[in-house]
Structure 1
Amino acid sequence: MVQGYQFIDINAKGEGIVVAAFDNQVAYCTQAGATVTARVVAALRDLLERGEPGQLFDALRNWPGAPLADALPLRLAGGIHALHLKGAEPALAAIYEDRAGVDDAAIVAAAILAHEAELLPWLDGPPQTNEAGRSSNFIAAMLWLASKGLPPRFQCLEIGSSAGINLMIDRYRYDLAGVQVGPEPGAMGFKPEWQGNPPPAQQIEIVSTKGCDVAPVDLTDPDQALRLKAYIWPEHTVRFERMAAAIAEAGKSPPDLVQMNAADFIEAELAKPQVAGTTRVLMHSIVWQYVPEDQQARVTQAMEAAGAMATPERPLAWIALEANRVLHLHELVVRYWPGGGEPVMLARAHPHGASIDWRA
């Protein structure tokens, strides 16, 4: 549990819920050791509560959607971080260098006043929290699926791929409690802090990867890469190093990424022939909350219908690393067909891949 959280329906709407969303984000950032991001979000919360005027604050107060589900605080925090990253608002350095004794609300208010037109578009879409470290969870789940007798050759489909960093999953090296997977040394290496038994030691192969996003990010475009960096919490320096490695890797060979919504993409991909001896996998991480409910229903229906037709030679699996909104934890959950398709919680995991608590 995260101390300070208010237990509110994630789909709740209204001005009071907007402030609660900012309070919850402060609590989560503080719990995660992200003190700078907590300061920025707390400053925004304070400005909201005191009735700070302006078009941007009016947009926040009158938010038509569900601010918790929409991750509204992180949308704006990303925009403010972008101002700092490109040096557009030097006064923000006092916050991002975590200096004491400064008026955070005054600094943030001045930044918004000076750059309101630039910040408003940051409210138009959800945060792009593309993080390579999450791929460790996908690999662990594939090891587990292979141990259940599914073909260890995986055709991977990802929704909410953002820049497609996790679509380059086969280019990375993994050490999962001593179980080694991937090329040596790999474009990146991951060794998450591990609790519990190691995952099954299996030989697996990623045959192909393809993903979709409603607003895909081109890592080779400096402006788009900056936007992605802005969503990284500044305390997490290793994530900036990973982003630089991902940008370099995409420059060598870009991931297979198309602009489509999740439901259209999955329906289209599942309709294609599947090669015998491969396991087709839907995978996603920290994205389900951003998928509209009607699309969630379509994806689920398409997967279950395809699962009913799955065979041992052409099985189907669904790997999800998503938030448990009751416990405020992130869980790695797998379904597979043939095999019943019942959800199996394999692990509780850090949302950025720092740790995996294996429960399988």
Structure 2
Amino acid sequence: MSGDEAKYEKVDPQAKGFEAVKRAFANQVAYCRDNGAPVTAEICEALLGLLDTERGGAVMRRVRKWAGAPLADALPLRIAGGLHALHLGDQDAALSAIYLRQRVSNPRDVVADAIERHEAFLMPWLDGPPQTNEAGRSWAYAAAMLWLADKGLPAQFALNEIGSSAGINLMMRRYFFDLGGMTAGPGGAQMRLVPEWRGPPPPDTAYDIVGARGCDIAPVDLTDPAQALRLKAYIWPEFTERFARMDAAIAAANTMPPEIARESADVFVEKVLAEPAEPGVTRVIMHSIVWQYVPEYQREKVTEAIEAAGAKATQDAPLAWISLEADRDTHRHELSVRYWPDNEGGGEEWQRLGVAHPHGAWVEWEAV
């Protein structure tokens, strides 16, 4: 399969084997092209081309013989992150030419040479999933809280996020949002999020965040320069505004770091929901671009715990579940919400509020 033939194809995310590896890279090429990331698409296209060769040393041999499910494991983004880190660290001038959009006659050979030169550096990047914490997605939590408050839930929210990574979304009380003209957050905030808004604005109300904590199996410490650089490596280089947001998040973390437990999603949610509910506060379980990485048995336990707690929720101490996850058919992210008790009918079922660009550049608001 060549890069020119790379088209997104919906497949079983748990599929394994060499053909699944090739499909994962082809899908990533198509996904990047469809989302305005030509440089990342070119890198992934070069990697796709290497799969049918002997180039790339031990790194590519490991990729070709990937033991897990390459799509569910986000294998293309693991190695793409490592290559981007080489560029950010000025460690390979030939490779950097691709990132700088300079004329490169054979990107596949350039990428292969870089992989072979930096084998020891790149191999650990295959050991864990990419960290894609992105402040631009916190618009979804803000808009969902405005919508929930308009539905009559207490406007005091306690946030509990699974897959928090560096906890960038947990610091959103310090961010300013302009959501189609509806504003929230401190006006003087360094982090200002103003997505292109399509459709009516969210409800004209207000919210306050009275608590924010999260979990991750491998939390990232933004106050550690090495870990912060690693997180930047997972940002697609085309999106310069995301680097500015990351710098603002790093500054916020150095002022007051977020609270993140090193725990799996199911353990964290069960602990949170076992605590007594606070009157006048809406408890929230939330996640963005995480669900696909959570093992199925954990997803089942999280769902069971939330639904059990929802059955006990009261008007004065409700529970909400906010989800911003990818639809791999449309290449958009869907914001959906469930809440308990069911004040107006239908709250216990998923309600889609809108769809958005993967990194929050634009939002199509659908809720009424």
Partner of 2:166: 163
Residue 26 of structure 1: CA displacement? 0.6
2:356 is matched by which residue type in structure 1? Answer: A
Contact 2:56–2:115 (CA under 8 A) maintained in structure 1: no
Partner of 1:137: 140
Partner of 1:278: 281
- 1:173-192 mapped onto 2 (5 Å cutoff): 173-192=176-195
Contact 2:335–2:355 (CA under 8 A) maintained in structure 1: yes
2:235 to 229, 232, 236: 232
Partner of 1:121: 124
Is 2:28 aligned against 1:21?
Answer: no
Partner of 1:208: 211
Is 2:12 aligned against 1:5?
Answer: no
Partner of 1:108: 111
Partner of 1:312: 315
More deviation, 130-139/115-124? 115-124
- Extract unaligned runs of 5+ from structure 2: 1-5
Contact 1:141–1:319 (CA under 8 A) maintained in structure 2: yes
More deviation, 222-231/54-63? 54-63
- What SS does the aligned partner of 1:49 have? coil
Distance of 1:265 and 1:123 partners within structure 2: 26
- What SS does the aligned partner of 1:143 have? helix
Contact 1:155–1:206 (CA under 8 A) maintained in structure 2: yes
TM-score by length of 2: 0.95
Contact 2:163–2:214 (CA under 8 A) maintained in structure 1: yes
Is 2:359 aligned against 1:359?
Answer: no
Contact 1:334–1:345 (CA under 8 A) maintained in structure 2: yes
Is 2:260 aligned against 1:257?
Answer: yes
Residue identity over aligned pairs, in percent, reads: 58
More deviation, 49-58/100-109? 49-58
**RMSD, aligned α-carbons:** 1.2
Contact 1:19–1:49 (CA under 8 A) maintained in structure 2: no
- What SS does the aligned partner of 1:275 have? coil
1:344 is matched by which residue type in structure 2? Answer: Q
Partner of 2:352: 345
Distance of 1:48 and 1:105 partners within structure 2: 11
Contact 2:215–2:262 (CA under 8 A) maintained in structure 1: yes
Contact 2:170–2:258 (CA under 8 A) maintained in structure 1: yes
- What SS does the aligned partner of 1:201 have? coil
1:302 is matched by which residue type in structure 2? Answer: A
- Extract unaligned runs of 5+ from structure 1: none
More deviation, 112-121/169-178? 112-121
Distance of 1:104 and 1:53 partners within structure 2: 13
Residue 54 of structure 1: CA displacement? 2.3
Residue 326 of structure 1: CA displacement? 4.0
Partner of 2:245: 242
Distance of 2:331 and 2:104 partners within structure 1: 32
Distance of 1:204 and 1:211 partners within structure 2: 19
Contact 2:56–2:116 (CA under 8 A) maintained in structure 1: no
- 1:289-328 mapped onto 2 (5 Å cutoff): 289-328=292-331
Partner of 2:53: 50
Distance of 1:56 and 1:235 partners within structure 2: 25
TM-score by length of 1: 0.97
Distance of 2:93 and 2:289 partners within structure 1: 32
Distance of 1:166 and 1:102 partners within structure 2: 41
Partner of 2:3: none
Distance of 2:277 and 2:56 partners within structure 1: 56
2:331 is matched by which residue type in structure 1? Answer: H
Go from structure 1 to structure 2 and tell me whether the alpha carbon gap of 1:326 and 1:31 turns closer, same or farther (over 3 Å shift).
Answer: closer
Distance of 2:268 and 2:176 partners within structure 1: 28
Is 2:337 aligned against 1:334?
Answer: yes
- What SS does the aligned partner of 1:289 have? helix
Contact 1:151–1:278 (CA under 8 A) maintained in structure 2: yes
